[in-house]
Amino acid sequence: MSTKETFFKYITEGNTTKGDFIPVGAAMLDGETVTGAYVKIPLKTMNRHGLIAGATGTGKTKSLQVLAENLSDKGIPVLLMDIKGDLSGLAQPSLGHAKIDERHEKIGLPFEAKSFPVEVLTLSEQDGVRLRATVSEFGPVLLSRILDLSETQSGVVAVIFQYCDDNKLPILDLKDFKKILQYATQEGKEEFTDAYGRISTASTGAILRKVLELEQQGADLFFGETSFDVQDLLRIDENGRGYINILRLTDIQDRPKLFSTFMLSLLAEIYSTFPEQGDSDRPELILFIDEAHLIFNEASKALLNQIESIVKLIRSKGVGLYFVTQNPTDVPEAVLGQLGLKIQHALRAFTAKDRKAIKLTAQNYPDSEYYDTTEVLTSLGIGEALVSALDEKGRPTPLAATMMRAPMSRMDVLTDMELSTLLSKSKMVKKYNETIDRESAYEMLNEKIEKAEAEEAKEKARQEKEALKKAESKKRTTSTRRRSTAMNPIVKVLTSATFIRSVFGILTKVMKK
């Protein structure tokens, strides 16, 4: 048996699957595509997370697009973090090209151009379905980790949340949270001290500064109502295809704190609300996080620990996380070790550091008698990748340099008119794009403060009135006393014994005469 035939058998037997799967392309040997040697990804193991990596321009985004399309066709909803703004073309069919036909002929798969059901989401003021969450939904632990607070400061946040629970004060947005922090050390200082102990102004000041930093990255647009229901990510269209939810993030590339805040909020909400799936035959939802280094580079240690914990636990909910980045070293080892599927496009070695990174990357893949992994990583062409997945028993499939299939949808962005038409048909826009600012902690505390101030002013006025009344009474008493004092010499004379005797003596003499 020739090497090519042996290799064909090696690939096909290693990719045998009893359940449903996604064929991503055909294996290559010595730079040539082996037609029909399909590289398959079983749906059963797609909740084991994955990585799509490679240098700029090597085809990472197209691989992401291929996976999203095929998942949608299988009835599995998808959420894409579109940071570069080049994924909206999924809503329109491919325009086709002779090179696409040539590629698919080599692979041995027919090519079909088609569009997919797409929902466009946004965290900012861009057009799309607005995603929001309330501060209360975050809770004290997650909020403290996002703000990177100390243990003492986190304790203050926990007390703030407890006070709001005890007094039925909703914390919907950052305006509410800031108001309560100020109230705790100013107008409500005595109340907090009596019920929860003294709260340091230094701690609340430090927390407020962290909140302001978050606001500067646009978080005031994210926190509030109407809260996004993660169940709406699981929608299926009338043809049984899963919706591809594209989150537009082109205007927050320089605001990684907001990106991290949203990601943790979303993952925490999914984990707390989705039912346990166990080892089901297909995932419930797949998330693709493009430019993943934006999360990890700016994340605090507490935030990284939270991400690592969620990555480990969330697969039991039937949710797969796929990180898309230039180099696998962008992803922390604790997370990288949890990623079952790896699609590695070409890496370029321009420096000694690059060559070292390539050697480290090669060690992440199983050994193969057919490839020198380090050499292959630098020689792959555009639209080619090293692929290693997990079979249905959780074992790595044979490492395969793969000619990747082309996307069935457009490999370009929607025009403004196409985007406007898409959004005009969206039921989700009508559901979530109305801003609601109902009465919450900010208004309630202001009302409480105003009432207390009114009571204080009323009491002050009463006291002033009472003081004035006392002053007037004292004045009248003093005046009377002064008049009495002025009459005292006459009274004394008139009432003296000598005077009386004299008067009576005169009267007696007159009568005798």
- Averaged in consecutive runs of 10 residues, what is the pLDDT profile of the chain (513 residues)? 82 88 94 94 94 92 96 96 87 94 96 96 87 89 86 92 90 91 88 87 93 86 88 95 92 71 83 86 92 74 78 91 90 88 89 81 85 91 94 90 96 91 92 81 79 74 81 72 57 53 59 57
Q: Could you report the per-residue pLDDT of 426-455, keeping only the tens digit for each?
A: 999 989 988 777 777 778 877 877 776 677
* 283, 318 Cβ separation under 8 angstroms: yes
The rounded radius of gyration (Å) of the Cα atoms in the chain is 39
Q: From CA 403, how far away is CA 384, in angstroms rounded? A: 5
**From CA 54, how far away is CA 52, in angstroms rounded?**
7
Tell whether the torsion through CA atoms of 250, 115, 237 and 43 is positive or negative.
negative
Return phi, psi of residue 120, to 5°. Answer: -100, 125
The reported pLDDT for the residue numbered 320 is 94
Query: pLDDT digits over 85-109, tens only?
Result: 889 999 999 999 999 999 999 999 9
H/E stretch holding 357 reads helix 352-362
Q: Are 59 and 296 in contact (CB under 8 A)?
A: no
What is the Cα 480 distance to its own chain's centre?
78
3-state SS assignment for residue 127:
coil
Helix (H) or strand (E) holding 246: strand 244-248
> Are the C-beta atoms of 19 and 281 separated by less than 8 Å?
yes
Label residue 123 exposed, middle or buried (CB < 10 Å: 0-12, 13-18, 19+).
Answer: buried
- Cis omega before residue 204 (within 30°)? no
Tracing tokens 């009386």 back to the chain, one arrives at 500
| β-strand pairing of 118-122 with 384-388 | unpaired
Q: How far apart are CA 215 and CA 222, in angstroms?
A: 9
Per-residue pLDDT of 347-373, as tens digits, reads 987 777 778 888 888 888 888 889 999
Q: Answer whether 69's CB lies under 8 Å from 407's CB.
A: yes
Q: Residue 496's pLDDT is what?
A: 55
* pTM for the model: 0.83
* Rounded (10°) CA dihedral 140, 143, 146, 150: -40
